[in-house]
């Protein structure tokens, strides 16, 4: 499975949101898109999902133009995993996952017992089979994110588009969700996700793309692309990157903002970085 974006540009009401974006994503890759709020990450994802179709340039999936693929066919190839939300009505986790099976089906169809079994298997594969009968609104944010991932797997899509999967999650859940996502990429899924945490890119991504002002300004291996200068330009704060050797992951850097508080209290010497051990 190969996704290619060729000179993608998009403007709305004379406001240019994306400019000349060229990117490629293959099975087995986990591409992190970094960029400040308003850089165009969500718009980029909406184009990939064909939720926006009036862009210039092209998006190809294995050679065929994405916006010309019929919705129910496309949903079996590219899945959208939104930020974990609560929803209007309380469904059980299994009912949410089962909606993935509705993709690629006739409008008038209903779920079969086989669909239900398959949906349950996807929950179990992510280690959250016990949530099946629980209310989706009453589980933790991290669990909700895993349920949404299970729904994407039930869609049988192989390209996963994730909009800030770790937003609003506590530290442990961020690590757990990202570990699962990295494993999916290793198992052959093509994953593109946005994040605001450079350390996540260092730890889990195979490639990183930096989006600023609607343009891809850098792209490549995280350790090559993410420098102190780039991060400072991007987020307009001064940061320091510290290599932690091979104990965490080759190429991993701890990313620490320079803090006035630290300087004033002379605490900078006692700063400790925290990284999950793989």
Partner 1 sequence: MSITTVRRFHALTTLAIVFLASFILSCALGRYPVHPMTVIQLLLSRFLPMDATWAPQAETVLFRVRLPRVAAAALVGAALSGAGVAYQGLFRNPLVSPDVLGVSAGSGFGAALAIFFSFGAALTMLVSFGFGVATAVLVGILAGKPRGDATILLVLCGITAGSLFSSATSFLKLMADPNNVLPAITYWLMGSLASIRGRDFVFAGPPILAALGLLWMLRWRLNVLTMGEDEARALGTNVPLARTLVIAGATLATAASVSISGMIGWIGLVVPHLARMLVGNDYRILLPASMLMGATFLLAVDDIARLVASSEIPLGILTSFVGAPFFLYLVRRQGRTA
Binding stretches for partner 1 (CB under 8 A) = 46, 49-51, 71-76, 78-80, 82, 87-92, 94-95, 99-100, 102-105, 107-111, 113, 116-117, 120, 132-133, 155
The residue (of 146 and 255) whose beta carbon lies closer to partner 1 is 146
Task: Spell out the residues 6+ positions from residue 209 whose beta carbon is closer than 8 angstroms to its own.
Answer: 23, 31, 32, 33, 34, 216, 218, 219
Minimal distance in Å, beta carbon 90 to partner 1?
6
Minimal distance in Å, beta carbon 83 to partner 1?
11
Of 103, 24, 90, 18, give the one whose Cα is nearest residue 63. Answer: 24
Minimal distance in Å, beta carbon 137 to partner 1?
10
Q: What count of other Cβ atoms lies within 10 Å of the Cβ of residue 14?
A: 5
Minimal distance in Å, beta carbon 170 to partner 1?
24
The residue (of 120 and 234) whose beta carbon lies closer to partner 1 is 120
Distance CA 69, CA 77 (A): 10
Minimal distance in Å, beta carbon 162 to partner 1?
12
Tokens of 242: 């510290």
The residue (of 39 and 97) whose beta carbon lies closer to partner 1 is 97
Strand order in the sheet with 159-162: 78-81, 159-162, 190-195, 30-34, 207-212, 215-220
Q: Do the bridges between strand 30-34 and strand 56-61 make them parallel or antiparallel, or are there none, so unpaired?
A: unpaired
Minimal distance in Å, beta carbon 107 to partner 1?
6
The residue (of 46 and 200) whose beta carbon lies closer to partner 1 is 46
Of 270, 251, 248, 244, give the one whose Cα is nearest residue 259. Answer: 270
Tokens 């398959």 label which residue? 118
The residue (of 50 and 239) whose beta carbon lies closer to partner 1 is 50
The residue (of 85 and 263) whose beta carbon lies closer to partner 1 is 85
Minimal distance in Å, beta carbon 206 to partner 1?
24
The residue (of 117 and 260) whose beta carbon lies closer to partner 1 is 117
Q: Do the bridges between strand 30-34 and strand 207-212 make them parallel or antiparallel, or are there none, so unpaired?
A: parallel
Contact (Cβ atoms closer than 8 angstroms) between residue 202 and residue 222: yes
The CA angle 131-173-24, to the nearest 5 degrees, is 100
Distance CA 201, CA 233 (A): 17
The residue (of 90 and 170) whose beta carbon lies closer to partner 1 is 90
Minimal distance in Å, beta carbon 10 to partner 1?
14
Judged by DSSP in three states, 52 sits in: coil
Distance CA 247, CA 68 (A): 47
């Amino acid at each position: 499975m190969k996704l290619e974006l060729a000179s993608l540009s998009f403007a709305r009401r004379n406001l240019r949101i994306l400019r000349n974006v060229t990117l490629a994503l293959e099975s087995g890759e986990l591409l992190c898109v970094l960029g400040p709020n308003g850089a165009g990450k969500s718009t980029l994802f909406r184009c990939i999902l064909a939720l926006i179709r009036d862009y210039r340039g092209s998006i190809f999936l294995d050679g065929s133009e994405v916006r010309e693929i019929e919705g129910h066919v496309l949903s079996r190839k590219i899945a959208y995993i939104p930020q974990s939300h609560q929803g209007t009505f309380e469904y059980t986790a299994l009912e949410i996952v089962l909606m993935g099976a509705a993709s690629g089906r006739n409008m008038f169809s209903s779920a079969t017992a086989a669909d239900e079994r398959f949906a349950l298997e996807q929950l179990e594969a992510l280690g959250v089979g016990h949530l099946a009968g629980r209310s989706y609104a009453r589980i933790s944010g991290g669990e909700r994110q895993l349920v949404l991932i299970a729904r994407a797997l039930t869609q049988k899509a192989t390209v996963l588009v994730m909009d800030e999967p770790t937003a609003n999650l506590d530290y442990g859940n961020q690590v757990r969700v990202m570990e699962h996502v990295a494993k999916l990429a290793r198992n052959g899924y093509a994953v593109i996700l946005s994040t605001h945490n450079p350390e996540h890119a260092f730890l889990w991504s195979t490639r990183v793309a930096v989006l600023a002002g609607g343009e891809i300004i850098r792209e490549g291996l995280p350790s090559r692309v993410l420098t102190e200068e780039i991060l400072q330009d991007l987020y307009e704060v001064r940061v320091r990157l510290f290599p932690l050797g091979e104990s965490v992951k080759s190429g991993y850097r701890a990313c620490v903002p320079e803090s006035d508080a630290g300087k004033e209290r002379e605490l900078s010497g006692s700063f400790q970085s925290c990284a999950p051990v793989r």
